[in-house]
Structure 1
Amino acid sequence: MKKDKIPLFFPYDVDRVKKMANELLERYPDKFTSDFGENKETIHNFAIVRSKELRNKIAGYITKTVNRNLAQQNASLSYTDEASEVSEETTE
């Protein structure tokens, strides 16, 4: 009789990854970039994470969050640029 494999990533691990990643982002917001490898090294320097898998998941979540924030900033900048162009066209 074959035993079912236990999944390596339990649902409660998602919360743990998010909590740890958000705490690191709050403490060191200027230390993280959109580069996964740099974020892994930063986590190694600022936190004690014994599991390579957990460190990679935290670095991945941080990278995704930083990229999302950068995309939102770029979108808001392009929106304000478009709004100023429209207002300039209407005043001419």
Structure 2
Amino acid sequence: MGIKPSYIKNLGTALLAKQKEYFSNDFDANKQQLSASASIDSKRVRNRVAGYITRKMNAKKRT
């Protein structure tokens, strides 16, 4: 779709490094986990971070 902003990548990478076992390759589950574990005020930013984490988890599954 396009290039993700660096703050999305930084936040997603930091969350994956700390809490990798809580995330899966399901977008809706990741969205719920982000609501519980991170204090992200914006729904749009939360969804973008959840999408980034989902893409990273799917990429690791394929390799």
TM interval, shorter chain, is: over 0.9
Q: Tell me the number of residue pairs that the alignment of Structure 1 and Structure 2 aligns.
A: 61
- Aligned residues with identical type, % of pairs: 31
- RCO comparison, higher one (Cα < 8 Å, 6+): 2
Post-superposition Cα deviations, 1:34-84, rounded to whole Å, max 9, x if no partner, equal: 000000001111100000000000000000000000001xxxxxxxxxxxx
1:65 is the counterpart of 2:56: yes
Q: Which has the larger radius of gyration?
A: 1
Alignment RMSD (CA, Å):
1.3
The equivalent of 1:80 in structure 2 is none
The equivalent of 1:79 in structure 2 is none
Structure 2's unaligned 5+ residue stretches are: none
- Deviation of the 1:18 alpha carbon: 0.3
Q: What's the TM-score, normalizing by structure 1?
A: 0.64
The equivalent of 2:22 in structure 1 is 31
Q: What's the TM-score, normalizing by structure 2?
A: 0.92
Structure 1's unaligned 5+ residue stretches are: 1-10, 73-92
